[in-house]
């Protein structure tokens, strides 16, 4: 009995040290930054190979650990320490690989990889914590948690491989969000026109259309930018990578601005709220289009649609302003 108690205490001590190290690694990851070597000769192919190998190793070692704890007898302190040491080596290799990724490869790429590595570490820490629990319920729960580690590790395989691919992914997502917002307000307006119980009065309805026009201009700006990006976008030079980071930063401001404007349109409509949210959206669209015009993924042939959309923004804003003071 005494030996069993001593062994249990020793196992807890081993877990305590390992979990403490993992939680410290998690805190650093949540900060989102690591050492930046600023090595623009960095080999991305080697980086992805190392990251995939580390993730696969983590997945395999977690499986071994959970199988070991699935039935008696429990591993000895020495056996557990050795298994956890192999697991620790695997996740430290993954972290080291992530921190080797320089910012000149793209802030968005670093962020994308950071989120995936963070998910692996979070799920991994949860599994290791669960190894201290006993009983059938704990075993079933551990199987589910192990599955989450597998899923997180497999996600490495589908990560965008460079800043260009990350930017395209984010562009598609943001355009989809704005399209959903456009469809939502148009459906509401269409339903209102055929409903005896009107949602908007006559004066408020006048405000709707230039605001919807602004929202449509936002959607068209994202769509045309996405098309130009996919045709001519690159991430081969530091300047190109930086422009893609800037694009994502600008694009991410559009959807929240669209949501704020649409929210202000619902009764009881507040003209001050409509004025301020419309002004923000107008400014964000204009800033995005001017930035796109100066980028490597557009040329003189793109100037026509950029100018058209800038004019569309001005046109809808000019229609809106008199209505806001009437």
3-state secondary structure the chain: CHHHHHHHHHHHHHHHHHHHHHHHHHHHHHCCCCCCCCCCCCCHHHHHHHHHHHHHHHHHHHHHHHHHCCCCCCCCHHHHHHHHHHHHHHHHHHHHHHHCCCHHHCHHHHHHHHHHHHHHHHHHHHHHHHCCCCCHHHHHHHHHHHHHHHHHHHHHHHCCCCHHHHHHHHHHHHHHHHHHHHHHHHHHHHHHHCCCCCCCCHHHHHHHHHHHHHHHHHHHHHHHHHHHHHHHCCCCCHHHHHHHHHHHHHHCCHHHHHHHHHHHHCCCCCHHHHHHHHHHHHHHHHHHHHHHHCCCCCCHHHHHHHHHHHHHHHHHHHHHHHHHHC
Residue 224, pLDDT score: 98
Q: Are 83 and 75 in contact (CB under 8 A)?
A: yes
Do 168 and 230 meet the contact criterion of CB atoms below 8 Å apart?
Answer: yes
Q: Residue 32's pLDDT is what?
A: 62
pTM comes to 0.87
Report which of 181, 319, 183, 204 is spatially closest to residue 267, judged by C-alpha positions: 204
For residue 176, give both structure tokens. Answer: 């989809």
Mean per-residue pLDDT pooled into runs of 10, the chain (326 residues)? 52 83 88 59 92 97 90 84 93 96 94 96 93 78 92 97 97 97 90 72 89 97 98 96 98 97 92 96 98 97 98 97 86
Q: In this structure, are residues 217 and 283 in contact, taking their beta carbons and an 8 Å threshold?
A: no
- At 139 the pLDDT is 78
The per-residue pLDDT for 2 is: 38
**What Cα–Cα distance (Å) separates residue 226 from each residue in 3, 162, 169, 218, 221?**
66, 16, 10, 12, 8
Domains and CATH numbers, the chain: 2-158 (1.20.1420.10), 163-325 (1.20.1410.10)
The alpha carbon torsion through 281, 287, 289, 295 (nearest 10 deg) reads -150
From the CB of residue 311, how many other CB atoms can be counted at a distance below 10 Å? 11
């Amino acid at each position: 009995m005494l030996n069993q108690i001593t062994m249990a205490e020793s196992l807890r001590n081993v877990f305590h040290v390992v979990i403490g190290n993992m939680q410290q690694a998690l805190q650093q990851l949540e900060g989102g930054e690591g050492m930046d070597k600023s090595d623009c000769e960095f080999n991305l192919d080697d980086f992805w190979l190392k990251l995939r190998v580390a993730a696969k190793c983590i997945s395999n070692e977690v499986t071994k650990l959970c199988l070991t704890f699935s039935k008696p007898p429990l591993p000895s302190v020495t056996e557990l320490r050795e298994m956890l040491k192999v697991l620790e080596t695997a996740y430290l290799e993954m972290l080291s690989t992530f921190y080797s990724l320089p910012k000149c490869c793209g802030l968005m790429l670093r962020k994308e990889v950071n989120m995936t590595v963070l998910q692996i570490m979070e799920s991994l820490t949860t599994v290791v914590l669960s190894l201290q629990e006993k009983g059938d319920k704990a075993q079933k729960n551990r199987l589910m948690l192990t599955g989450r580690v597998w899923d997180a590790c497999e996600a490495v395989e589908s990560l965008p491989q460079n800043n260009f691919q990350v930017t395209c992914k984010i562009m598609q997502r943001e355009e989809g969000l704005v399209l959903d917002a456009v469809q939502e307000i148009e459906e509401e307006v269409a339903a209102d026109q055929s409903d005896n119980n009107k949602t908007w009065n006559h004066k408020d309805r006048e405000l709707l259309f230039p605001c919807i026009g602004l929202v449509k201009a936002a959607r068209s700006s994202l769509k045309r930018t996405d098309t130009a990006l996919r045709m001519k976008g690159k991430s081969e030079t530091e300047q190109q990578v930086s422009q893609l980071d800037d694009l994502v930063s600008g694009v991410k401001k559009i959807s929240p601005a669209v949501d704020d404007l649409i929210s202000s349109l619902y009764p009881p409509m507040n003209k001050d709220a409509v004025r301020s949210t419309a002004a923000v959206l107008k400014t964000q669209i204009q800033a995005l289009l001017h930035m796109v015009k100066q980028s490597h993924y557009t040329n003189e042939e793109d100037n026509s649609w950029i100018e058209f959309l800038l004019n569309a923004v001005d046109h809808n804003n000019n229609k809106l302003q008199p209505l806001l003071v009437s």
